[in-house]
Every structure is written in structure tokens, then in C-alpha cells.
Structure 1
Amino acid sequence: MALPPAFLDELRARTPLHGLIGRKTRLVRNGRQWKGCCPFHNEKTPSFYVYDDHFHCFGCGAHGDAISFVMQTEGAAFPEAVERLAGEAGLEVPRATPQAAERERRAKDLHGVCAAAEAAFRRRLTLPEGREALAYLRRRGLSEATIARFGLGWSGEGRGALAADLKGEGITPEQLVAAGLMKPRDPDRPEAGVVDMFFNRVIFPIRDRRGRTISFGGRILGDGQPKYVNGPETELFSKRRSLYGLDLAREGAFRGGPVVVVEGYMDVIALHQAGFSGAVAPLGTALTAEQLEALWQVSPEPVLCFDGDAAGVKAAGRSAELALPLLAPDRSLRLATIAGGEDPDTLVAKGGPAAFQAVLDAARPLSVALYDLLAGASPPATPEQRAGFRNRLEEAAKAIPDRALAAEYKRALLDRFFASGRGARPAFAPGGKPRPAWTPGKGRGRPGELSSIAGLQRVAIDQPGIRLERARNLLAILVRHPAILPEVEEALGALDLPAGECQVLRAALLRWLHVADVLDSQGLMDHLRQAGLESPLAWAVRSMGLSQAAHPEAQPKDAIDGWWHFFGLLRGEAELVEDRAEAQRMLVETNDPIAQQRLIRLQEALNALRGGEADQPGEPAAAPTGHIG
């Protein structure tokens, strides 16, 4: 028995081709595709390209899909290649049974039934009975070419019209029921016969990723309800797995256009006509995990476009929650919002392509949009609200399975969280009385101001300055001893560092960590200088006030001990307790030596802070010395 085409389509869709081929040859991204040296012939200049669903070598002519790649590189027969890929994709290969053979025969027949029905609906649109439907499409601004490209049609008034049209082609009412084009008049009384699924409706063919018609949607003319109807689930059509316009969007994405998810049929069609050929839409349901997987097969970062009203915000939140467990370093999302009660169709009609392009230009990465969605309309203000909000941010990052990506999300979310809380002065003084505005010359203890107590004058402790020096030492240790970066990466990302050069250097260090081949100090400093960060670098490693742990001659153990010492000073006791609890949980879950080492370091930092080894917040800063602290 030949394998069902639907199964093979799903197997190919669930097999990321660049990941499969990347095991045999090194690939680098080249625009929308991947490029590398051909694994089938010896070449020094890459001429082998990997697209979303096939590969092609412009040197030797090798061409194929995931199945043929396994066959050609491993000498596997077709069944063996399918079995192996199915096992990796979590699919069960259909077995040869009479029932499976019958399903395959029916599926082939149903594709023919749907194609014949589409042709019949298109013919009716140009007949006198379809005049009103054609006028409706033209009023919506659709050109003849667009109407033809999307195969739009007219259902007629029903009453068996479609069955009568297709009877001459040997298509039976039973086949029309199986294709979702007719339904039993009374499910409990089969003898009552069948009726048309669509009548008095403009017809929108729904196609699979290969362009084959698998079902239909219909829009009623006038004020009847429901306004839109989709065909039922069939052997060809699954709403959860299908996206309207995906076949055309694949071509648009290949040509460099963004893939944009909008709400309805007319939004997709209007955007394609306006030049946005990557537009798609779910079919009357919220976006599903299966649809996200299909989108990522076409584009690594599709754009989800939502209305700016409450319903749009809610839909964006659902989509973000759905996407987090599916994210990976090579696939994410952007979120765009249309304000003013418009949708893509009406926006393009009023403002032209430039109006929608502005919406796409303003699309936010998921990491940015996620923060706003979790914050809601009223950002948290009280300590209790902020603590709860921070917990939500961290839980969202934990939902991402890739540990490196989860750490990056956590860092990005918490960086913004801490930035939002800096510089906020309480509006009320102790006792609940409104706090008076400070004016120069009034009040005591402000940094840099002289205070008079019993005839003595003292300089108030410069807490921000002390914190800045601690952060500088922490970063200088990493510059001089970057080999410890992998161990402290997560802790560094979670730290609330002073704004300015500290945060700039931290971001540069973490970026360099993921691209550097060798973690050496000279290479890191050269990289920072080339990146235009010579001034922050010089500030961090200047000798005055620098700990011995930050000197180039320091032993690795001294460097790592010094780093965790400064981390403890900057992090604070409450946060260290929380970090320790998280490290303990990770150690129990993973039994990972790295988690064990992190737990030990956090305990040491906490012991030092509690034991008085760290200088206390209320004491004057000590004069710079060479020792840690």
C-alpha cells in the first residue's frame, strides 16, 4: 500500500529540513534560506541551498526533500527513511490494511471532488445568479485577477444545485457529504436525504500548503447569521492544522516578504492584493500549536496582527501563552497592533499599502510584547503587586524549553522590570502624610550634601557610588577572566546593575559569550574596542579601587570567589535566598553538577553577607585597597 499523501505531507512539515541536513554539513542562514557546502560532492565554495521544504545544489544538481535526503545520504530505502523520520517526528506510520487502502482511495477521490466543486462555484459567480455576489466582491475593492487567484465563487441558492452540477462528472451526493459540501438533512433520519452545506454565500476555497483545495468557507450576503461558515472536519480538512492562504504565503515568504497572521478571509485577500503576499489567517478559531508549527516552516519570525481593542489584547495574550513552550533560538514571533477599530482590509482601503506597512514596522518582538501583556493596562505599583508581577515574568520565561533562550527571556524581562522601578520616590512619608517636595537646602542625608549634627559636619554616604564601584569590580573580573562567564551567565543576567556603562558592558559580554570561539581576555577586549566600547572598557578596568580578583595575574579560584562576593553585595540578602531556593530546586530536578556548583556559590555569598564579611549599607565606603571588598 502506498502511504497516504496527507501523512507524507505532515511528516515533511514536522521535519525541519535545515536541522536534518545540518547534521551532515555546516549550514549558515542566507536570507530566507540556508546555505552550505554540498554533502553529495566535494566543493570548497558553497552552492547547496536548503529551503523550507526542499534542498537544491546548483553545483551537482542534487535535489529533494527530507525523505530523499535520508535515502541519498544513508542508503536507506523509502520505507526505512520514512520510519526513521516518523520516529523523530513522533508520528506513527500507517500500516497496510484494507481500511487504510480504502481511506487512501477516498482521499484521492475527495481531492477531485473539491476541485470539481470549486470549478462549479467559480462558474456560478459569472452567471446572472451570481451577479450580486460579484458586485459585492468588486465593492470590496477586489480586482478580477485577485478574484481568479483566490478561486472565489458563488454557491447558488442550494436545494441540491451543486449535486446536480456535478452529477454529470460521476460525483455522488455521498462523496459530497464526505468532502463537507453537503450534510444530512436530519442526522437521526438518514432517509430524509441531504442538503447543501453552502447556499446564498460567496465561496472561498481553502487550500493546503501544496495548493490543493481541501474545503470551503462561505460568507452570506446581507445580514443573515452566521456571517461566515467553514466546511466541517473531513479526511482532507482539519481546522487546527490549516491556514487560509498558506500556499500563496509560502511563495511570498520565499521572495522575502513577511508572513503575517490576520483574522479573516477578506483581510488575507486585501493584503495580498496590496502586495503583502505572506498574509494568512486561521479558520474561525484561535491560533493553534499546529498552525504555529506550520508558520515556522515558512518563516522563522511570523508577525501576528491583532486589533487594538480588549478582544485583540486578549487574543494576543492567548497566542503568546501558546507560543512560549514552542519557542526555539531559530523561531519566534512578532506582535503588531492595529489601532482605531480598523482591520487590515479597511486599513488598506483607506490608507493604502503604506498604512499597513507602518503597522508591520511597529511590530514588537515577542519578548517586548510579552512584558506589556503581563503588565496589563495598569502597571504594578505597590511592593506586593511588583513582587507578583516579577513572579509572572519569571514563570513566563520558565515556560520556554530551550534553557539558553529561557535565560535570555528572563534577563530581558527582568532588566525592564528593574528599570521600571528605578528612580521612583514614594509619594507618602512614614505615617501616611504626603511627602513634601524636596528643594535645595532642605533635608538631610542627600548624596553629596553636608549635614550638621552637634556642630559636626560629615559627608553623607554615597550609596549609588558604592554600588557603582561594586558593579565595576564585578564586570572587570569578567573582562580579565572571561573563562568564568559560562558559570555565572544566568546570575549576571538576573542582576540589577546600575544604568549606563554597567548595563552596556553586561550586554556586550553576554553577546560575545555566544559567538566567541575562545574565552580569552585579550580577545574579549579587542572585541569590545571594535564594537565601539573602548570608553566603558577603560572605565571598568582602571586600576584605582580595583579588587585583586580583577587583576590579570589573579588565580582562577580567586577570580570566581571575588565575582560571587561582589554578586552577593549587589544582589542583596532577600534575592540571594530566593536564588538559593531556585538553585536547590534545579539541582533536585536535574542532578546537574553545574546546578550543584551554583548552589554552593550562592550559599557562600549568602554566608558572607550574613556573617559581616561584606561592608554594611550604612557604613562609609572604605578607602580603595587592593583586597576584595
Structure 2
Amino acid sequence: MAFPPQFMEELKSRVGLAEVVGRRTKLTKKGREYSGLCPFHNEKTPSFTVNEEKGFYHCFGCGANGDLIEFVKQTEGVSFPEAVERLAAVAGLPMPVERPEEKARQQRAATLHEAMELAGKWFTAQLASQAGAVARQYLGRRQVSEEAVSSFRLGFAPNSRTALKEALIARGVSEGTLIEGGLIIKPDEGRESYDRFRDRLMFPITDRRGRIIAFGGRALGEAPAKYLNSPETLLFHKGHVLYNMATARQKAFDTGTVIVAEGYMDVIALSDAGFSQSVAPLGTAITEDQLQVLWQMAPEPILCLDGDTAGWRAALRTSERALPLLRPGYSLRFALLPEGVDPDDLIRKEGAGAMSQILDNAQPLSEILWRKEVADRPVDTPERKAALEKALYSLCDEMRDPAVQTHYRAFFKERLWQAFRSKGQTPRQGSRGAGERNRFVRFANQGSDSRFLRNSSHRTAVAPAVGRREELILLTVVNHPEIMENHYDTLASLHLSSPQLDRLRRAIIDIATVESSLDYTDMAHHLAKRKLSEQVKGLQGPTTKSLDWFVDPAAAYEDALNAWLHIVARHKVEALQKDLEAAERQLGENATTENLDRLKMAKQALDAAAGNEADIEGFGLASGRNKSV
């Protein structure tokens, strides 16, 4: 079966070669290419390369080479049509049906391409003619260089009702082709057809291969619409195309980024200033298909938006549209310009350096989402704080990738914690009075000091050494909640072996996220509200008569913090040692590259964590202890 060229082009644009190859062998980006171990023969040193931009792979060891379709054929043992069908399923593209009308459609497309190319040349000639003087003056005022005029193939549509129509029909293009290509308009009531673009500066719009498929026109005189684009045609679907994408692809690949501006002139100004990796949507908000095109060009496109309300609204629309499509390593950044300034204005007035600074300070998508929800939202009551938290987590629910969703939840939790803290407050030092020691009991309606109970039935049944350490980690935070002021992330990322203790850990984190400046009494109160006082009571031991005395609320904060950091570091090291042992076992059972990499990473993590225990010199002095007891 012969597949239509447009279908094959769309298929390859939606499915990245490196993505498909990466499912078979681990790839590492090196400059403009990817490299890895060849999936077609056994080797210890990588000799396999993938060039995403050019769309081919090659092994210098065994000589295997080909494109996306060939890779699927060679690795899955299928025919060409079957390979196309499998890739179409991945891309979400319906398979074309080979019918006589499809062949006719391909022939029409070829004819339309020829007509659009002739129109582009005619518009270019008009710009250089006497009739194009006004358009040339406009370009001069906008400081558009001659190089940009030439490279973007700018043109001019004269203020004539039928000039283009007559010129192209004289060159053998039929009226029907001109209508189908959107170059002329045929009124319904049977009147004579006329040119769509009149008295406008013309911007050719190309496909990924650089072929003209449509035009955009900027009015130079009075007109109902300042900008006018070609209608949807057999060649042109504006939600799938970006202005300048054919030219920007190479520079985007070289620089590792792509800039998304709002309009034609912004793209031209950026390119003229050295940022030729610039593109723009075509008068609409960025679509899902355009996001996929952008991610094929660079993993984190920068949206460079005008510094006004419309620019901010565009940022919000794009950020919301991107949420379901996010995946590890692929996101968006936003470069927001000063109020009332667009890229063209900034470059003309302040130069390329000012533009570089704006781009370098582009904010990640996570920051835009946070700003969206907190803007003009009061959070001065628990209910309003809860509403903000719910709104942020609702955004996470829209993310389909579980890893991305998990990290966004952690990010928002941390930002909530920071936002709800009292400003300028630091953890309190010194010991508490004995009057605070029974407050857990008071909130839990107990009749004795639960901190000194032994052998409680609520103790968690885990191995004594690890289990008691995990208990002490939580108990220290419960009795010294000031620790959460500066070490929230440490507790949030900690893995505990006991499900019951992990439940308590999550409760402490939730409390600290919403409540700021917690002290012992506050923490006791909130845990009691969650019916966790009994569990906390079960963790208590003879703390004042053992080496665990630092967990006591009366111990100095400095001593409690140092001891807590020490046992947390020990806990992490032991966990990493277990990971290393597991990686060694896996490599012994199955000697694969993936298992070897896992072992290397486990060793690196353990080496990095070793020696991070807290300095406990002088431990106990702040609490009035001259030596450890």
C-alpha cells in the first residue's frame, strides 16, 4: 500500500525516532545526536547513534541504519505496512484508506503546492515593485532587515480586487485551484470571485519541509481585521502548524530550546536579533498538536508573551492545555515581558541583550500554575487555605503521567508550607517548662504523662533497631515541631518501613503544610483532632533516663535538632545500603546494562550520603548536660 506523503510526514512528526529507539536501548544525548549500545548486536562500547533532526540511525559497529519505519521493521520483524500501522497507533493517527478518491486527493495536493509557490513568488515580486512602496516603508519603520525580508520571503498583496487571480490564471492555474487553496473567494450568490488578500504585507506560512501551504496578511490601510490568515484547506490546518517551524528546527536542535512568540513580526524581530529558533501560533491559542511539535524541537519551549493582560491570559490557557500532556523531562517555560512591551518593541529599543536576559529568566510551568492560583486569593482563614490547596491539587489531577503528578504534588505542598509560615519567625531555642509536658495527655483526655509509658500495646511491630529509630524520628518532630520550619523536605522525602508510622509521618506533614509556627502544644492539638494521640502515646519511652532524652519537649531545640539530623542521616544510609545490596543481587541474576546502571547509581547515592551525620560535638550542653547519659 502506498501511503500519502502528508500522512507519513504527520506520522514522523508525532513519533520521535529517539523515543522509539529509546524503548530498546538506553540513549544518551551527545551534542546534536544520541548514542547508546546497538540494539542489533552485542557490544560493550556504544557505537550506535540516532540523529533526531535528520531522522535516521546508524551503527558504526554492525552497519545497521535506517529511519523510523525501518527501525520498527528490523526490531519487530514486521513489514512496512505493519510498521506504519503500529506507529500510527502510537501517534493516535487513523490509518488512511487506499481509495481512488485518495489518489485524486494527492494529485490535488500536488497541484495546490504548485499554486501556493507561484502565489508566494508573485507576492514577493509585488513587494519589490512600485506598488509595494508603502509595504517597504512599513518594514523600514519596523527595522526589518533586507536579510529577514528575503529569508522569510515577505511579499505584498496590492489593493486590487483580482490582480492575483488574473496573474495565476495567466500562468495556468485554474480558478477552482485558487479557490481550493484559499487564495481567492467565490461568493455564494454567484458573483465573480476575487482576491482574498488585498493591500496587505504578506507572510508565507510553510509546512515542516518548507513548502508554502498558506499565507498571513497584515493590513496596511483601513481593514476590518488587522491580520488575516488563509482558511483551512487541504494543505493547511492552522492548529497543526507553527509559523517559521521549518527554519527554526535546526537552530532549536543546536541550542536545545525553541522560543514561541505571539505573532509574525515578533518571530521576524527575534530571528533578526539572532534568535532564529523562534516560532508562533497562527492567531489562535496553542493547541495540543502544536505542543507536540514544539516538544519534538526542544524539551522545554519558552513562551515569550507580551507583557499585558492578554499575554498573561495566553500563558494561563497554554499552561492548562499542557497539563494532561506533560511527561518526565518535557514541560514549558514562560518569559513574561514588561507591561505593554512585546519582543519586537524590546529588541528595537533595548537590543538583543535585553531579550537574552528575559529569556534567561524564563519561569517554569510550575511557577505559573502557582501564581495563577494564588493571585488575588485571600488565604487568611483555614477554609481559604483549604480552598487554595484543593485548587492546586485539582491541577495535579489533570496530569496523566504519574511521576509528573507526584512531583507536582510535592512542589505545591512545599510552596503551601512556605506561604503559610509566619514571616520572619525562627525556631525557638531553649527548654520548655515542665508545665507543657502533660499537654498531649490533656488533649487526648488521658490521666498520666504518656511520655513515660513503657511497653504500650500501640508500639509498632517492626525490627527493634530500625523500628525504634523510625519512632524517634517522628517523636522528636512531634515534641519539637520547630524542626519542620527548615527541614520540611527532609521528613517529606523520608521512607519509613512501618505503614503505621508512615501514616503518622504524612499527618505531621499535612499539619505543617497548613499550619505555620507550630509549637509542641499546637502539634499535640492537631494530632489529637486526627485521633492520633494514642499512636503517639505508644511511641513514648523512658526518654529522660536513656540515650533518647533529646526527644523530650524539655530538651533544648539545638540538641533535639542535632540528634534528629544524626539519626535521619543514619536511617538514609542504611536504606541506601539495602538498595545497593538489592542492585547487586539483580545484576548477579540478570547481567543487563540497565541493572549495571542501577548498581552504579546505588553506589553513587550511598557514597554521597556517607558521612552526612550531624556534628554532635557539645551535644547536650544546651540542655544543661555536661556529658551524654
Q: For this structure pair, what is the TM-score category when the shorter chain's length is used for normalisation?
A: 0.7 to 0.9
- Report the more deviating stretch, 233-242 or 41-50: 41-50
Amino acid at match of 1:500: N
Match of 2:524 in 1: none
Shift of 1:308: 2.8
Map 1:203-282 → 2, pairs under 5 A = 203-256=202-255, 258-282=257-281
**Secondary structure, counterpart of 2:215 in structure 1:** strand
2:381 aligns with 382
Amino acid at match of 2:414: D
Relative distance call for 1:341 and 1:461 in structure 2 (3 A) is: farther
Kindly tell me: are residues 410 and 573 of structure 1, through their superposed partners in 2, closer, same or farther at Cα, counting changes over 3 Å? closer
C-alpha distance 23-449 of structure 1, shift in aligned 2 (>3 A): closer
The residue type paired with residue 14 of structure 2 is R
Whether the aligned pair in 2 keeps the contact of 1:447 and 1:462 (CA below 8 Å) is no
Q: CA deviation at 1:268?
A: 0.4
SS at match of 1:240: helix
Corresponding residue of 1:25: 25
Shift of 1:223: 4.1
Distance 1:285 1:246, change over 3 A: same
Which amino acid counterpart does residue 155 of structure 1 have in structure 2? A
Q: How does 1:216-615 map to 2 (within 5 A)?
A: 216-256=215-255, 258-378=257-377, 380-423=379-422, 448=430, 498-503=484-489, 559-568=498-507, 571=510, 609-610=531-532, 612-615=534-537
Change (3 A) 1:376 1:73: same
Gaps of 5+ in 2: 441-450, 452-459, 471-480, 515-526, 553-629
1:537-560 C-alpha deviation (Å, 9 max, x unpaired): xxxxxxxxxxxx9xxxxxx5xx55
Matched letter for residue 85 of structure 2:
E
Mapped to 1, the partners of 2:489 and 2:27 lie a distance apart of 33
1:82 CA displacement? 1.1
- SS of 1:381 mapped into structure 2: coil
The alignment partner of 2:94 has SS state of coil
Aligned residues: 501
Higher mean C-alpha displacement, 302-311 vs 357-366: 302-311
Q: Distance in 1 between matches of 2:137 and 2:408?
A: 50
Give the letter aligned to residue 503 of structure 1. Answer: D
Structure 1 residue identity aligned to 2:534 = G
Could you say if the C-alpha distance between residues 178 and 63 of structure 1 is closer, same or farther in structure 2, counting changes exceeding 3 Å?
A: farther
Deviations 1:35-54 (A, max 9, x none): 21233455523341241561
- In the alignment, the residues of structure 2 paired with residue 309 and residue 386 of structure 1 have an alpha-carbon distance, to the nearest angstrom, of 29
Cα shift readout 1:442-469 (whole Å, capped 9, x = no counterpart): xxxx975888xxxxx9579999xxxxx9
SS in 2 for 1:57: strand
Contact (CA 8 Å) 1:16, 1:52: kept in 2 or not? Answer: no
Q: Do the aligned partners of residues 274 and 219 (structure 1) sit closer, same or farther apart at CA in structure 2, a change above 3 Å counting?
A: same
Deviations 1:64-115 (A, max 9, x none): 4322222333443322211121122222211111211111110111111111
Structure 2 partner of 1:599: none
| 1:429 equivalent in structure 2 | none
Indicate how the Cα distance of structure 1 residues 203 and 449 shifts in structure 2: closer, same or farther if over 3 A, else same: same
- Contact (CA 8 Å) 2:261, 2:305: kept in 1 or not? yes
Deviation at 1:155, TM superposition (A): 1.1
The equivalent position to 2:78 in structure 1, one of 63, 67, 76, is: 76
Q: Following the alignment from structure 1 to structure 2, what is the Cα–Cα distance between the partners of residues 80 and 406? A: 34
Q: How big is the shift at 1:306?
A: 1.9
Q: In 1, Cα distance between the equivalents of 2:482 and 2:328?
A: 25
1:120-179 alpha-carbon deviations (Å, 9 max, x no partner): 111111111112212211221111111111010011223221122223431111111111
Whether the aligned pair in 1 keeps the contact of 2:262 and 2:306 (CA below 8 Å) is: no
Task: Indicate the residue corresponding to 1:96 in structure 2.
Answer: 98
Larger mean CA deviation between 251-260 and 412-421 belongs to: 251-260
Instruction: Identify which of 526, 532, 544 aligns with 1:623.
Output: 544
Query: What corresponds to 1:180 in structure 2?
Result: 182
Partner of residue 491, structure 1: none
Aligned to 1:552: none
Mapped contact 2:159–2:198 kept (Cα < 8 A)? yes
Which 10-residue stretch deviates more, 564-573 or 129-138? 564-573
Identity of aligned residues (%): 38
Distance 1:108 1:621 in 2: 86
Query: Which structure ranks higher in relative contact order (CA pairs < 8 Å, sequence separation ≥ 6)?
Result: 2
CA distance in 2 between counterparts of 1:375 and 1:610 reads 31
Query: Which range is displaced more, 52-61 or 194-203?
Result: 52-61
* Residues 66-75 or 76-85, more deviating: 66-75
TM-score under structure 1 length normalisation: 0.72
Aligned match of 1:16: 16
- Per the alignment, do residues 447 and 58 of structure 1 end up closer, same or farther by CA in structure 2, a change over 3 Å counting? closer
Q: How far apart in 2 are the matches of 1:45 and 1:574? A: 47
Q: Deviations over 1:327-350 (max 9, x none)?
A: 000311111100131100010001
* Alpha-carbon separation, structure 1, partners of 2:262 and 2:399: 26
Q: TM-score, normalised by structure 2?
A: 0.72
C-alpha contact (below 8 Å) 1:337/1:363 kept by paired residues: yes
Per-residue CA deviation, residues 545-596 of structure 1 (Å, 9 max, x unaligned), is xxxx9xxxxxx5xx55444444445545999xxxxxxxxxxxxxxxxxxxxx
| Deviation of 1:231 (Å) | 0.3
User: 3-state DSSP class of the match of 2:214?
Assistant: strand
Classify 1:566/1:256 alpha carbon distance in 2 versus 1 (closer, same or farther; 3 Å): closer
Counterpart of 1:538 in structure 2 is none
